Amino acid sequence: MLLRHTNKEVKEREGLTINPAKTCQPIGAMYAALGVHGCLPHSHGSQGCCSYHRSTLTRHYKEPVMAATSSFTEGASVFGGQSNLLSSIDTIFSVYDPEVIAVHSTCLSETIGDDLQQITKKASDDGKIPDGKFVMYASTPSFVGSHVTGYANMVVGMAEQFAVSTGETKDQVNIVAGWMEPSDMREIKSIAGRMGANIVLFPDTSDVLDAPQTGKHVFYPKGGVTLDQLRSTGDSKASVALGCMSAEPAAIALDKKCKVPFETVDMPIGLSATDRFIMALSKAAGVEVPAEITAERGRLVDVMADMEQYFYGKRVALFGDPDQLMPLTEFLLDLGMVPAHIVSGTPGLRFDKRMKEILQRAPEANLKIGPQADTFLLHQWIKNEPVDLLIGNTYGKYIARDEDIPFVRYGFPILDRIGHSYFPSVGYTGGIRIVEKILGALMDRQDRDAPEERFELVM
């Protein structure tokens, strides 16, 4: 009993979060920044913050994540971190030679009131930014929002600080990636390529955080959206934002700055959300849906129909990030499952509204969104109303063990398994992977619990 202090009695709590279902803003900003080619993320705060952000990303992606820090000490904490950041910018360009430095703030620098826009302008005025190089920034105070907010803020920075409208519209569509795995970003590009849609995907962490082992250390892997591509997003004919929480703010920023119209769809997880993404991309790019994609869809539908009896009526508890939870919950409903308890530590009115729409098909479900929506509460709900399956990040393993529930790892962070950065869970093929993982967990449990006379070779 690792979580032996979790009791059944649920009490209203304010100002106390126990085992949060979120992590801190700069982690998201750092992850988004890694999706720009030749970018070195920079954490404007203490070394401890930067080490935590880097280690969480490194443990999840099993790749060395490099980032710089303003390395605040007592002096910077009291008088502000401007001089630290200015000398950091100097050192980074002369020693590490990135194309762009992506600076994000932290709790401490935000509390002091450091103005990243003003400091980066000063760096430019003082000649600390070499010709052809850039410093971008995003404000990421971690006492509000979550890692998802930090990701969204950095992606907004990409749109606001790089996109340019030349007045000539290009035959291309921007796809603003919500927080998804490198494998998912690769799959989105593959789907667009097979549809004949000319896209700019940003950010793009494929070939950065899933780079192949070549025997040579490369400081800046070949992946990532280039600065030229980012500039060109202002001339695209449309944008499709994948997720109202992590992607839509950047699409809005692009529309405001460069008048690029946009459509927001749920992240393409599962059948219905992928259908909507394919139709949105087809419309935005003016391309037909090819037979190959239709066949892929058919394979997912076939698996869902074949295995329906194993899913039907199974109760699921899930926790994680908004843009995954919304389509995943819808997919569970499409599979005939019952989403029973859902929590997310990331607050958001759009998220709340959309979840309630989706849950009209499961009106009995417990839903809590916001800072007090933690995994302690989820555990209490499970104790009161047990479930057949738990879906969430690695931290869910404690609940799964204590309550003896089959557990599917999904979301961020996953610290004790691999696969998430290599096998997509978006698109129709990604849907099959989700089905396979859920089915595997349920059938393993059925095998484990079966009495000898009911232990079947064919299930």
Which residues of this protein are in contact with ligand SF4, per CB under 6 A?
Answer: 24, 26, 45, 49, 52, 106-107, 142
As measured in angstroms, the least distance from the Cβ of 34 to ligand SF4 is 17
Nearer to ligand SF4, 26 or 345 (CB): 26
Nearer to ligand SF4, 49 or 389 (CB): 49
Q: How far is CA 426 from CA 148, 187, 374, in A?
A: 18, 7, 26
The residue among 109 and 174 lying less far from ligand SF4, judged by its C-beta, is: 109
Nearer to ligand SF4, 26 or 424 (CB): 26
Minimum distance, C-beta of residue 68 to ligand SF4, in the bound complex (Å): 15
In the complex, the smallest distance separating the C-beta of residue 333 from ligand SF4, rounded to whole angstroms, is: 34
Q: For residues 24 and 136, which CB has a smaller minimum distance to ligand SF4 in the complex? A: 24
CB nearer ligand SF4, residue 26 or residue 320: 26
Question: In whole angstroms, how close is the CB of 154 to ligand SF4 at the nearest point?
Answer: 14
- Residue 142: CB minimum distance to ligand SF4, A: 4
Shortest Å, Cβ 52 to ligand SF4: 5
Three-state secondary structure string covering the chain: CCCCCCCCCCCCCCCCCCCECCCCHHHHHHHHHCCECCEEEEEECCHHHHHHHHHHHHHHHCCCCCCEECCCCHHHHHHCCHHHHHHHHHHHHHHCCCCEEEEEECHHHHHHCCCHHHHHHHHHHCCCCCCCCEEEEECCCCCCCCHHHHHHHHHHHHHHHHCCCCCCCEEEEEEECCCCCHHHHHHHHHHHHHHCCCEEEECCCCCCCCCCCCCCCCCCCCCCECHHHHHHHHHEEEEEEECCCCCHHHHHHHHHHHCCCEEEECCCECHHHHHHHHHHHHHHHCCCCCHHHHHHHHHHHHHHHHCHHHHCCCEEEEECCHHHHHHHHHHHHHCCCEEEEEEECCCCHHHHHHHHHHHHHCCCCEEEECCCCEHHHHHHHHHHCCCCEEEECCCHHHHHHHHCCCEEECCCCCCCCCCCCCCCCCHHHHHHHHHHHHHHHHHHHHHHHCCHHHCCCCC
Give the nearest distance from C-beta 147 to ligand SF4 in angstroms.
9
Written as six digits, the tokens of 391 are 């879906």
Neighbours of 4 (CB within 10 A): 7
Closest approach, Cβ 107 to ligand SF4, in A, equals 3
CB of 345 to ligand SF4, least distance (A): 12
Half-sphere exposure in the Cβ direction for 41 (13 Å, CA): 33
Q: Residue 69 or 246: which CB sits closer to ligand SF4?
A: 69
Residue 102 vs 338, nearer CB to ligand SF4: 102
Q: Which is nearer to ligand SF4, 26 or 431 (CB)?
A: 26
In angstroms, give the least distance from the CB of 282 to ligand SF4: 40
Residue 26 or 371: the one with the smaller Cβ distance to ligand SF4 is 26
